[in-house]
Amino acid sequence: MVDPKKVFKKSDDFEGPLLTLKKGAQVKWRKSMCAPCNNTRSQPFDMAYDAMETFLVDHADQMSSWRRLAWTDVYGTDWEQGAADLGRYFAKQMCCMLATQQLPIPDDLIAFLDGAPRCPSVAFTLCRNWRTADLHRILRRDGRPQGATTIVGLLTSTAYQRDGQFSGLDYGYRIGYVQFSGDWSAGSDRVSWWESPEVDLPLVGGGLRGRVDWSLSKVRLRLAGGGLLSLVEAASDI
């Protein structure tokens, strides 16, 4: 289990936990790749992430109602390469996480980073978190122009075993209310977001129970005199 509240980053320009960073580029791990791989070779992956982050920030007021995302809106006519390189950005993060935790790195992830068109044992997916989307609306209403877009960082990751062997990993990351998942399951064959010109954006946490729990959290914080920071922390506790 990798708890983002316990993942700490110290560098020349940042020191603190990686839960609510303003820039996703701060998410780094112990050095586990040579400099050429982590710089020149992976630069297209970083550029694809930056393009996606910019798109999400620019459309944060609208995307909460979107059920699908067209990759051409993010990457233009070169959407296949851009969407795949976005997947490779998170594949690199997964590999670095596994190396840091001294866990084996799946062959599919390595092959994907080396240019394979698919990564069959990993399902890379997107979703919208209803609670954080509502928080974005509240922050914008209360005069915070960035809304929830500064809530950027890791979600809790869980590793699994089958018959005593490492067999699965749930990796999660978010930019505002949009969540990115990389779910590895040994021996599986699943599709990922770059294999189609459009990707689903399912809404999570927006069922009746989730909405009631969030409403109660807001009432409790209001009665306790909690400010916007307390509300952000409540929305981040997912």
Full residue range of the structural domain in which residue 169 is found: 4-205
Query: What phi and psi values does residue 65 have, to the nearest 5 degrees?
Result: -100, 0
Total structural domains in the chain?
1
- In the numeric block, the tokens 């075993």 are attached to 161
Both tokens of 45, joined, read 């992956």
Residue 141 has pLDDT above 70, yes or no: yes
- For residue 220, being part of any structural domain is answered with no
Residue 209 to residue 232: CA distance in whole angstroms: 20
In this prediction, residue 111 carries a pLDDT of 97
Residues 150-173 as b or e (16 or more Cβ within 10 Å = b): bbbbbbebebeeeeeeebbbebbb
- For residue 217, being part of any structural domain is answered with no
- For residue 52, being part of any structural domain is answered with yes
| Average pLDDT rounded to a whole number, residues 147-173 | 92
- For residue 231, being part of any structural domain is answered with no
- For residue 222, being part of any structural domain is answered with no
- For residue 73, being part of any structural domain is answered with yes
Q: How many helices (H) and strands (E) does the chain have?
A: 8, 10
pLDDT band, very low/low/confident/very high, at 32 (cuts 50, 70, 90): very low
| Average pLDDT rounded to a whole number, residues 119-148 | 92
pLDDT band, very low/low/confident/very high, at 138 (cuts 50, 70, 90): confident
Q: What is the pLDDT of residues 126-135, one digit of tens each?
A: 999 998 998 8
- For residue 233, being part of any structural domain is answered with no
Q: Which of 43, 118, 55, 133 is nearest to 84 (CA)?
A: 118
% the chain with pLDDT above 70: 69
- For residue 90, being part of any structural domain is answered with yes
In this prediction, residue 53 carries a pLDDT of 96
